[in-house]
Amino acid sequence: MKQPLTIALTKGRILKETLPLFAEAGIEPLDDIASSRKLLFETSVPDVRLVVLRGSDVPTYVRHGAADIGVVGKDILMEFGAEGLYEPLDLGIARCRLMTAGFPNANESRPRLRVASKFVNVARAHYAARGVQAEIIKLYGAMELAPLMNLADQIVDIVDTGNTLRANGMVPLEHIADISSRLVVNKAAMRTRHNVISGVIEAVSRAVAQREASAA
Ligand code: AMP
């Protein structure tokens, strides 16, 4: 049997937007991912399978070659690094912004700003580049709670509509980066399995281009 090509997808919001795009590229899971408890899925393309992971695990699987290709948010690549990966394609899906946020008109008297985030590396680099002394506090979820509970003065988080911030009395402050999901490829696999991988990249990039053309 041929060794299957494995594509690691990010579960959640990104998965919901990836599946229609992949279907337009002719790659469809044979089972309904949403209702299945399986994690590995055969697809309509022989020898191409999908694995569904949390976003922060996708670069790890692809970097180590356990998956050949991945779909992951740029926020994760910024935070955890893209070492060992090619990033050949912006999929233009799951668009959002990485921002700092806090209460409006907050008057910080502390010598060091307290910043809560799950993106600690991005946060550290952002405040350092602006010459702001910041203590970065790592959280794993519900970033908006940190200023409400006086754990932090600001947060660094993903903002889409801004509804989550507004609902908690906060406002977006500084724009750090525009985010969308990216296709990443294991560097070694790109050489050793070039034909099959470039076939997938081409099919998906045609689907992305078609979407852009019909949105224009
Ligand atoms: P919103 O209330 O629309 O600004 O959405 C904010 C929350 O939704 C954030 O705290 C994120 O956790 C999540 N979110 C929004 N967009 C994305 C995305 N493209 N990828 C991952 N998480 C997102």
Residues in contact with ligand 1 by the CB-under-6-Å rule are 13-14, 73, 94, 96, 157-164
How far does the centroid of ligand 1 lie from the alpha carbon of residue 163, in Å?
Answer: 9
- Closest to 106 in 3D by CA, of 162, 173, 202: 173
- At 143-199, the pLDDT tens digits run 999 999 999 999 999 999 999 999 999 999 999 999 999 999 999 999 999 999 999
The protein residue with its alpha carbon nearest to ligand 1, atom 12, reads 158
Q: Write the CB contacts of 16 (distance below 8 Å, at least 6 apart in sequence).
A: none
> Which residue's entry shows tokens 């050793």?
192
| 158 Cα–ligand 1 center, Å | 5
Give the distance (Å) from ligand 1 centre to CA of residue 214.
Answer: 25
Grouping H, G, I as helix, E, B as strand and the rest as coil, residue 5 is: strand
Cα separation, 210 vs 25, in Å, equals: 10
The residue whose two tokens read 């998965």 is 15
Count CB-CB contacts under 10 A for residue 122. Answer: 19
Write the residue with the smallest CA distance to atom 13 of ligand 1. Answer: 158
Cβ 200 vs Cβ 208: under 8 Å: no
On the question of pLDDT at 95 being above 90, the answer is yes
Report whether 205 contacts 18 (CB < 8 A): no
Give which of 52, 60, 56 is closest to 19, Cα–Cα: 52
- For ligand 1, atom 16: residue with the closest CA: 160
Q: What percent of the chain has pLDDT over 90?
A: 94
* pLDDT for the residue numbered 1: 54
